[in-house]
């Protein structure tokens, strides 16, 4: 195109109609579009920072920096509108795509002339011009670490205002793929750490982002999703919220699921019986045995429907292992809305759900005092871009907190897994859960001991309650049910034997108008055979009754002797549960509208 023709085109573009202007532009492209000069203009790199300035002044600056001439009608593109630009060595074509196109300004190149036009007006006139340059997808690769440089596993890395993001793997690494060129605000969060926001510019290359989070010692910014379905920080919430991170769990090294509840303020936990049923009370509520006014959940759904359980005990329905990512608790307030009859507290155990990169953690534990041998493992990653998985569990055998007189006391384990299928539009997912638990634990209640004024347990004639248990010599017996006439055989060596299988499916989706829909359905079937003995009385020994030692020899009478009686118990529990929780949430500026409904069908058959 000759110089005088370019000048004529520039003059004409300033006074003719937009429709005529675009026709002329198309004609010009037929002669010389995508020439070497045009492509060179788009490839010029530019560094420009402009905050809240009108489009005309920004175009003037670009012309000075690139020596490229723009032709446009100020009225048609509304050139007095104010926008912001932050470009660092960015190609001119990408800059125009990123910062002008979102404001309805398109462009085409003829030689070294760039013609600007209104995209919407072009479409109204039936003109849809091909883009001068197709953008490639960008990728963010990075690492999230703590204050000491150690990797943070399971941190959330999210693009602000979207559902696009990733979770860090076992090495603290993450990948976010298929990002169009532009500026993004990345939000990095992890329970127990102060959240951080980082702004990055994505072009047609990979972007490396390393983020170091600072520990929040008071955990004031810990987000608890359980709290009424509307995530809140602790300072914003009107109820008591507690988050227990994976790091906290590792540091506490809990002996069992009940022991881990000691991390939650306001709960009194007693589990002197070992891995068997524990007692947990909420401050300010009546105290009884078992779990009272307290609900335990796994991945947002209850394991048992009520807030009062002794036998079956809810701590036999779930086990703490490496599959647990973090624990969330809400005390008081709307706890009873989340689960029936739980005004004291609701505790939610959340499992890992996969990540873009492969991760894994494995642990072998052994103890000299209890004959403990335990293997824990957990791994996860991505099967494809939209499919992620996690699987893990444990197996262990040991002699228990005290020697019951038979071996092993505790034996068994569990396997848990989930697969997440993300929608291609990044607005939600479908997640499948599966779990199988087969575990035997001994329930060894504390025996009576003499009180000598010191407040410490003492031995009595060779019996030490700290290292010994009280169990009948004959561990097996038979029972005939008078109602049904059925006969049953029981054995204390079988302990609390729990077999549990469950499957669940979660649907999570955010609609175009901002409603988040979450529905989770679970089917769970459990069989528990509870065999245990417990001391139930102490009295002075009567001279008329002869007692014998374990080896069969007669025990001489002494007026100072005390006799402790024990009761052997057996209970067969069978239950089937169907649970479905449906939630709706919509964010309206600084407020959130949330409502939901749920159903919990609990069919239980007991033989005591």
Mean pLDDT of the chain: 80
> What pLDDT sits at residue 477?
85
Partnered with residue 571 across adjacent β-strands are 530
Say if residues 155 and 190 touch (Cβ distance below 8 Å).
yes
Orientation of helix 92-99 relative to helix 55-66, angle to 10°: 170
The answer to whether residue 129 sits within a structural domain is no
% residues pLDDT > 90 (the chain): 20
> What pLDDT sits at residue 564?
79
Residue 364 pLDDT > 60: yes
CATH number at residue 196: 2.60.40.1120
Say if residues 181 and 93 touch (Cβ distance below 8 Å).
no
Q: b or e along 70-107 (b: 16 or more beta carbons within 10 Å of the residue's beta carbon)?
A: bbbbeebbebeeebebebeebbbbbbbbbbbeeebbbb
Residue 407 pLDDT > 50: yes
> What pLDDT sits at residue 580?
95
Residue 176 pLDDT > 90: no
The pLDDT of 74-78, averaged and rounded, is: 85
504 sits in which H/E element:
strand 496-510
> What pLDDT sits at residue 103?
82
What's the burial of 164, exposed, middle or buried (CB within 10 Å: 0-12/13-18/19+)?
A: middle
Say if residues 51 and 99 touch (Cβ distance below 8 Å).
no
The answer to whether residue 22 sits within a structural domain is yes
Q: Rounded CA gap, 404 and 303, in Å?
A: 29
Say if residues 410 and 397 touch (Cβ distance below 8 Å).
yes
Residue 566 pLDDT > 90: no
Q: Rounded CA gap, 362 and 99, in Å?
A: 48
Residue 575 pLDDT > 50: yes
What's the burial of 597, exposed, middle or buried (CB within 10 Å: 0-12/13-18/19+)?
A: exposed
The pLDDT of 319-336, averaged and rounded, is: 83
What 3-state class would DSSP assign to 358? Answer: coil
What's the burial of 433, exposed, middle or buried (CB within 10 Å: 0-12/13-18/19+)?
A: buried
In this structure, the answer to whether residues 255 and 203 fall within a common structural domain is no
Q: Could you identify the residue written with the tokens 């019986």?
A: 273
What's the burial of 191, exposed, middle or buried (CB within 10 Å: 0-12/13-18/19+)?
A: buried
Residue 553 pLDDT > 80: yes
Say if residues 282 and 320 touch (Cβ distance below 8 Å).
no
Kindly calculate the radius of gyration of the chain based on its CA atoms and give it in whole angstroms. Answer: 34
In this structure, the answer to whether residues 496 and 586 fall within a common structural domain is yes
> What pLDDT sits at residue 46?
86
> What pLDDT sits at residue 367?
78
In this structure, the answer to whether residues 333 and 366 fall within a common structural domain is no
In this structure, the answer to whether residues 72 and 191 fall within a common structural domain is no
Residue 227 pLDDT > 80: no
What 3-state class would DSSP assign to 154? Answer: coil
Range picked from 343-352, 364-373, 446-455, 462-471 for highest mean pLDDT: 343-352
Range picked from 193-197, 228-232, 303-307, 581-585 for highest mean pLDDT: 581-585
Q: Residue 313, Cβ neighbours under 10 Å: how many? A: 26
> What pLDDT sits at residue 599?
93
Residue after which a domain boundary falls, among 286, 321, 351: 351
What domain range is 399 assigned to?
362-607
State the pLDDT confidence band at 397, using cuts at 50, 70 and 90.
very high
Q: What is the pTM of this model?
A: 0.66
State the pLDDT confidence band at 448, using cuts at 50, 70 and 90.
low
Partnered with residue 23 across adjacent β-strands are none
Residue 3 pLDDT > 50: no
In this structure, the answer to whether residues 333 and 294 fall within a common structural domain is yes
Total domain count, the chain: 4
In this structure, the answer to whether residues 206 and 249 fall within a common structural domain is no
> What pLDDT sits at residue 138?
74
State the pLDDT confidence band at 39, using cuts at 50, 70 and 90.
low
Q: Rounded CA gap, 192 and 571, in Å?
A: 42
Between CA 21 and CA 31, with CA 26 as vertex, the angle to 5 degrees is 125
State the pLDDT confidence band at 129, using cuts at 50, 70 and 90.
low
Partnered with residue 295 across adjacent β-strands are 346
Alpha helices, H only, 261-416: 335-338
Tokens, residue 368 = 């000299």
Say if residues 419 and 471 touch (Cβ distance below 8 Å).
no
Range from 60-69, 245-254, 310-319 carrying the lowest mean pLDDT? 245-254
In this structure, the answer to whether residues 89 and 9 fall within a common structural domain is yes
In this structure, the answer to whether residues 418 and 563 fall within a common structural domain is yes
Task: Tell me the three-class secondary structure of 486-502, residue by residue.
Answer: CEEEEEHHHCEEEEEEE
The pLDDT of 208-220, averaged and rounded, is: 71
> What pLDDT sits at residue 416?
97
The answer to whether residue 253 sits within a structural domain is yes
> What pLDDT sits at residue 214?
82
Q: Please tell me the number of Cα atoms within 13 Å of 223 on its side-chain side.
A: 11
Residue after which a domain boundary falls, among 124, 149, 178: 124
Tokens, residue 260 = 């881990």
300 versus 121: which is more confidently predicted? 300
28 sits in which H/E element:
helix 18-32
% residues pLDDT > 70 (the chain): 81
9 versus 127: which is more confidently predicted? 127
Collect all residues with Cβ–Cβ distance below 8 Å to 2 and sequence separation of at least 6: none
CATH number at residue 32: 3.55.50.30
In this structure, the answer to whether residues 178 and 253 fall within a common structural domain is no
In this structure, the answer to whether residues 343 and 387 fall within a common structural domain is no
Tell me how far apart the terminal alpha carbons of the chain are, to the nearest angstrom: 97
The answer to whether residue 8 sits within a structural domain is yes
Q: Rounded CA gap, 59 and 56, in Å?
A: 5
The pLDDT of 56-61, averaged and rounded, is: 90
Task: Tell me the three-class secondary structure of 541-574, residue by residue.
Answer: CCCCCCEECCCCCEECCCCCCEEEEEEEEEEEEE
pLDDT digits (tens, 9 = 90+) for 249-296: 877 778 788 888 888 888 888 887 778 888 888 888 887 778 888 889
The answer to whether residue 221 sits within a structural domain is no
The pLDDT of 81-100, averaged and rounded, is: 83
pLDDT digits (tens, 9 = 90+) for 486-537: 898 888 888 889 999 999 999 999 898 888 899 999 999 999 998 888 777 7
pLDDT digits (tens, 9 = 90+) for 20-31: 444 444 444 443
The answer to whether residue 51 sits within a structural domain is yes
The answer to whether residue 222 sits within a structural domain is no
In this structure, the answer to whether residues 147 and 255 fall within a common structural domain is no
121 versus 16: which is more confidently predicted? 121
> What pLDDT sits at residue 20?
45
CATH number at residue 266: 2.170.130.10
506 sits in which H/E element:
strand 496-510
pLDDT digits (tens, 9 = 90+) for 474-493: 788 888 888 888 898 888 88
Residue 379 pLDDT > 90: yes
What's the burial of 523, exposed, middle or buried (CB within 10 Å: 0-12/13-18/19+)?
A: middle
Helix, strand, coil shares, percent, the chain, to 5: 15, 45, 40
Residue after which a domain boundary falls, among 100, 124, 148: 124
> What pLDDT sits at residue 8?
42
The answer to whether residue 184 sits within a structural domain is yes
> What pLDDT sits at residue 24?
47
Partnered with residue 427 across adjacent β-strands are none
What are phi and psi for residue 413, nearest 5 degrees? Answer: 180, -165
Orientation of helix 3-13 relative to helix 18-32, angle to 10°: 160
In this structure, the answer to whether residues 343 and 378 fall within a common structural domain is no
Tokens, residue 160 = 């602000």
Residue 226 pLDDT > 60: no
> What pLDDT sits at residue 205?
60
Between CA 595 and CA 603, with CA 599 as vertex, the angle to 5 degrees is 165
Q: Please tell me the number of Cα atoms within 13 Å of 7 on its side-chain side.
A: 3
Whether the ω angle into residue 408 lies within 30 degrees of 0, i.e. cis, is: yes
> What pLDDT sits at residue 216?
60
């Amino acid at each position: 195109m000759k110089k005088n023709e370019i000048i004529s085109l520039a003059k004409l573009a300033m006074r003719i109609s937009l429709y005529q202007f675009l026709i002329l532009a198309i004609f010009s492209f037929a002669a010389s579009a995508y020439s070497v000069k045009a492509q060179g203009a788009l490839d010029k790199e530019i560094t420009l920072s402009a905050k809240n300035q009108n489009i005309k002044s920004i175009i003037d600056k670009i012309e000075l920096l690139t020596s490229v001439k723009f032709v446009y009608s100020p009225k048609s593109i509304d050139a007095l509108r104010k926008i912001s630009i932050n470009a660092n060595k960015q190609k001119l074509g990408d800059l125009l795509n990123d910062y002008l196109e979102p404001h309805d300004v398109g462009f085409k190149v003829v030689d070294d002339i760039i013609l600007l036009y209104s995209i919407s007006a072009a479409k109204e006139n039936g003109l849809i011009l091909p883009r001068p340059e197709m953008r490639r997808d960008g990728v963010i690769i990075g690492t999230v670490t703590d204050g000491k440089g150690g990797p943070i596993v399971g941190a959330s890395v999210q693009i602000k205002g979207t559902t696009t993001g990733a979770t860090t793997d076992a090495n603290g690494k993450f990948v976010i793929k298929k990002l169009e060129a532009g500026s993004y605000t990345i939000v990095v969060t992890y329970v127990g750490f102060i959240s951080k926001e980082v702004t990055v510019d994505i072009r047609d290359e990979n972007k490396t982002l390393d983020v170091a989070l600072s520990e929040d010692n008071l955990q004031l910014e810990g987000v608890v999703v359980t709290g009424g379905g509307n995530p809140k920080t602790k300072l914003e919430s009107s109820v008591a919220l507690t988050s227990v991170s994976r790091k906290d769990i590792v540091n506490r090294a809990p002996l069992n699921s009940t022991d881990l509840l000691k991390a939650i303020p306001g709960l009194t936990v007693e589990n002197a019986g070992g891995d068997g049923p524990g007692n947990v009370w909420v401050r300010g509520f009546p105290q009884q045995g078992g779990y009272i006014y307290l609900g335990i959940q796994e991945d947002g759904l209850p394991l048992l429907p009520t807030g009062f359980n002794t036998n079956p005990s809810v701590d036999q329905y779930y086990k703490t292992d490496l599959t647990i990512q973090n624990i969330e608790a809400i005390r008081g307030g709307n706890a009873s809305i989340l689960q029936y009859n739980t005004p004291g507290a609701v505790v939610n155990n959340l499992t890992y759900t996969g990540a873009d990169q492969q991760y894994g953690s494995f642990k072998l534990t052994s103890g000299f005092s209890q004959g403990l041998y335990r293997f824990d493992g957990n791994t996860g990653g991505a099967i494809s871009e939209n499919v992620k998985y996690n699987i893990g569990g444990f197996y262990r055998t040991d002699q228990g907190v005290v020697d019951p007189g038979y071996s092993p006391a505790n034996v068994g384990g569990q396997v848990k897994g989930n697969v997440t299928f993300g929608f291609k539009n990044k607005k939600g997912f479908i997640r499948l859960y599966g779990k199988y638990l087969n575990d035997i634990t001994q329930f060894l209640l504390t025996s009576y001991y003499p009180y000598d004024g010191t407040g410490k347990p003492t031995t009595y004639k060779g019996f030490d309650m700290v290292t010994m248990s009280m169990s009948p010599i004959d561990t097996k017996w038979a029972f005939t049910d008078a109602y049904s006439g059925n006969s049953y055989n029981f054995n204390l060596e079988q302990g609390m034997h729990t077999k549990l299988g469950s499957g669940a499916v979660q649907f999570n989706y955010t609609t175009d108008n901002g409603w988040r829909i979450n529905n989770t359905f679970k089917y769970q079937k459990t069989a528990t055979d509870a065999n245990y003995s417990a001391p139930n009385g102490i009295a002075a020994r009567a001279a008329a009754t002869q007692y014998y030692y374990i080896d069969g020899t007669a025990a001489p009478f002494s007026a100072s002797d005390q006799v402790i009686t024990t009761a052997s118990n057996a209970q067969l529990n069978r239950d089937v549960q169907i649970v479905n929780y449906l939630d709706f949430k919509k964010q309206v500026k600084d407020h959130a509208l949330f409502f939901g409904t749920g159903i919990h069908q609990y069919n239980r058959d007991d033989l005591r």
